[in-house]
Amino acid sequence: MPKLSDHQSNDFVKLLLTGDSGSGKTGAKASLVKAGYRLFILDMDNGLDPLKTFVMHECPAMVGNVEFRTLRDKRKTTGAGVIIDGKPTAWINMMKMLDNWKYDDVDYGKPSEFGPDCIVIIDSLSFASDAAFDWAQSMNPGIKDPRQWFYTAQQQVESMLALLSSEGFRTNVIVDSHVRYSTGDDGRNKGYPNAIGSALGPTIPRYFNHWAQCENKAGKRTIQTAATNMFDLKNTKPFSMQKNYPLETGLADFFAVLRESPAKAEKPKALTLKRI
């Protein structure tokens, strides 16, 4: 009989990280690089400049531990406005990378087998959702009811989250998202991850045992871990986790509460990575 103490959540962190634009979500990953993690980033925002700046300042010798792939559909201007240039491929290429991190002459194998010293990062869910919608629209451009595009895109995004949070995806995961604020039936204003449409936002946190929030108040940036009236933040070790951490070290501190550091974790064979 399986023991609760052996549950796979002890090995891997699946984190939803939300925050408004400029709150520090991307740059905060530098503390994880410094802590020894290898980052595999699906860059849907084309906005990794802050991460590069902080890594080069804090731990330049470890910059090689960050592998990324920028995936954005090209756009062009026409008489009818800005449209996608050609067939949208960002969403499909993202799905291919989550199955096998391979492109050009690079082949790192399956992300689901990267192991506990690696973190697969979606930066960000908001732009990934846009890519899913563009793909759904291109698959069926002639439909009469545009709601079908939204439904298809929502199904795709939710399936991706189910994959990343599943037991079979044996790698740490961080999904970044901007925030959508909405008023519930009880009249309270709440913050949810920003995805395609408004219906999916409240569903997204269900896929994660951990939800933290980057905040910028009066120029002081922090990572909040405790639930508030606005955000239903959560983690699996509330008795050990501080309510907030400084942005500069916060993600490394958060991970350190939940699992062993990379220096102590056993190195699985999946981390014998190679370029071919």
Q: What is each CA distance from 230 to 175, 184, 192, 213, 239, in whole angstroms?
A: 19, 11, 9, 11, 21
Rounded-to-integer distance, Cα 133 and Cα 26, Å: 23
Write the pLDDT tens digit of every residue in 119-138. Answer: 999 999 999 999 999 999 99
Does some domain include residue 263?
yes
For 104, the 3-state DSSP assignment is coil
Q: What is the pLDDT of residue 188?
A: 79
For residue range 171-209, list pLDDT tens digits in order.
Answer: 999 999 999 998 766 777 899 999 988 889 999 999 999
String of DSSP letters for 138-173: HHSTT-S-THHHHHHHHHHHHHHHHHHTSTT--EEE
What confidence score (pLDDT) does residue 265 get?
A: 47
What pLDDT was estimated at residue 178?
96
The partner residues of 41 in beta bridges, in order of sequence, read 68, 121
Flag whether 170 is in a domain.
yes
pTM: 0.91
| One-character DSSP codes across 216-260 | EETTEEEEE-S--SS---B-S-TTTS-SEEETTTHHHHHHHHHS-
Least confident of 12-16, 52-56, 79-83: 79-83
In a domain, 23, yes or no: yes
Give the closest residue to 200 by CA, choosing from 167, 141, 160, 140. Answer: 160
Q: Which amino acid is at 13?
A: V
User: If we measure between CA atoms, which residue out of 117, 168, 119 comes closest to residue 271?
Assistant: 117
Query: Domain of 183: which CATH number?
Result: 3.40.50
Distance CA 60, CA 241 (A): 29
Asked if residue 227 belongs to a domain, the reply is: yes
Query: Residue 243 falls within a domain, yes or no?
Result: yes
* Helix or strand run (H / E) with residue 55: helix 49-58
Cβ atoms 170, 113 nearer than 8 A = yes
Amino acid letter, 102: K
pLDDT tens by residue, 204-228: 999 999 999 999 988 899 999 999 9
Confidence of residue 46 (pLDDT cuts 50, 70, 90): very high
Q: Is residue 153 assigned to a domain? A: yes
Give me the number of domains the chain comprises.
1
Give the residues across from 174 on adjacent strands.
15, 121
Is there a domain that residue 120 lies in? yes
80 part of a folded domain: no
Helix (H) or strand (E) holding 53: helix 49-58
Three-state SS string over 55-113 comes to: HHHHCHHHHHHEEEEECCCCEEEECCEEEECCCCCHHHHHHHHHHCCEECCEECCCHHH
- Owning domain of residue 35: 4-75+85-275
pLDDT in tens, 232-255: 999 999 999 999 999 999 999 999
- Spatial separation of the C-alpha atoms in residues 96 and 185, rounded to whole Å: 39
> How far apart are alpha carbons 17 and 147 in whole angstroms?
28
